[in-house]
Structure 1
Amino acid sequence: MREKSLLLKKWAQGLAVAIVALSLHASGASAGVSVDWADLPDPVAQVFEDPYSDLSPEEFDDVLFVVRLRGRLQQDSGTREERQNWQEMLDETEAALAAGGIDIDWLLDQRHVVMERREKAANAGNPVFDGKNITVAGFAIPAPPDAEGRQIAYLVPQRGMCSHMPPPPPNQMIRVRLNSDWTPAYFHEPVRLTGQLNIDPTDHQMVVVDGLMPMRATFMLDADRVETLESREDRLEWSDSAADKLRAAGRRKTGGQTTPD
Structure 2
Amino acid sequence: MPTPRSRDTRALAAVALFATLVSSGLTWAAQDEARELGWEDLIPSGWDPRAELEALGGDALQDLSDDSEQAGDLLEAYREAARSAPVVSELDGQRIRIPGYMVPLEFDHMTISEFLLVPYFGACIHVPPPPANQIVYVKTDASYPTTNVFKPVWVTGVIST
TM-score bracket for the superposition, by shorter chain length: 0.5 to 0.7
Q: Which amino acid aligns with 2:159?
A: L
Shift of 1:61: 5.0
1:176-187 equivalences in 2 (<5 Å): 176-187=138-149
Cα RMSD, aligned residues only = 3.8
Q: Which amino acid aligns with 2:102?
A: A
Per the normalisation by structure 1, the TM-score is: 0.35
Which structure's residues are more often strand, by fraction? Answer: 2
Inter-partner Cα distance in structure 1 for 2:61 and 2:85: 28
| Closer/same/farther in 2, CA of residues 183 and 189 from structure 1, 3 Å limit | farther
What residue number does 1:197 align with?
A: 159
Shift of 1:162: 2.1
1:154 is aligned to 2:116: yes
| Closer/same/farther in 2, CA of residues 133 and 120 from structure 1, 3 Å limit | same
What residue number does 2:13 align with?
A: none
SS of structure 1 residue aligned to 2:117: strand
Inter-partner Cα distance in structure 1 for 2:42 and 2:61: 33
Aligned mate of 2:99, from 137, 151, 168: 137
What residue number does 2:22 align with?
A: none
Segments of 5+ residues of structure 2 without an aligned counterpart are 1-31, 65-69
Which structure's residues are more often helix, by fraction? Answer: 1
What per-residue deviation string (whole Å, max 9, x for no partner) do you get for residues 52-95 of structure 1? 55x87369859xxxxx8xxxxxxxxxxxxxxxxxxxxxxxxxxx
Inter-partner Cα distance in structure 2 for 1:137 and 1:42: 19
Q: Which amino acid aligns with 2:150?
A: H
2:118–2:135 CA contact under 8 A, matched in 1? yes
Inter-partner Cα distance in structure 2 for 1:166 and 1:132: 29
| Closer/same/farther in 2, CA of residues 40 and 164 from structure 1, 3 Å limit | same
Inter-partner Cα distance in structure 1 for 2:85 and 2:59: 26
Inter-partner Cα distance in structure 2 for 1:175 and 1:156: 9
What residue number does 1:165 align with?
A: 127
Segments of 5+ residues of structure 1 without an aligned counterpart are 1-29, 63-67, 69-110, 200-261
2:83–2:132 CA contact under 8 A, matched in 1? no
| Closer/same/farther in 2, CA of residues 161 and 183 from structure 1, 3 Å limit | farther
| Closer/same/farther in 2, CA of residues 45 and 177 from structure 1, 3 Å limit | same
1:42–1:121 CA contact under 8 A, matched in 2? no
The number of residue pairs the alignment matches comes to 115
- Counting aligned pairs with the same residue, the percent is 23
1:43 is aligned to 2:45: yes
Flag as ranges the 4+ runs of structure 1 deviating above 6 A. Answer: none
Larger Rg: 1
Q: Which amino acid aligns with 2:132?
A: P
Per the normalisation by structure 2, the TM-score is: 0.54
2:101–2:120 CA contact under 8 A, matched in 1? yes
1:141–1:184 CA contact under 8 A, matched in 2? no
Q: Which amino acid aligns with 1:154?
A: L
Inter-partner Cα distance in structure 2 for 1:121 and 1:41: 13
What residue number does 1:104 align with?
A: none
Shift of 1:185: 3.4
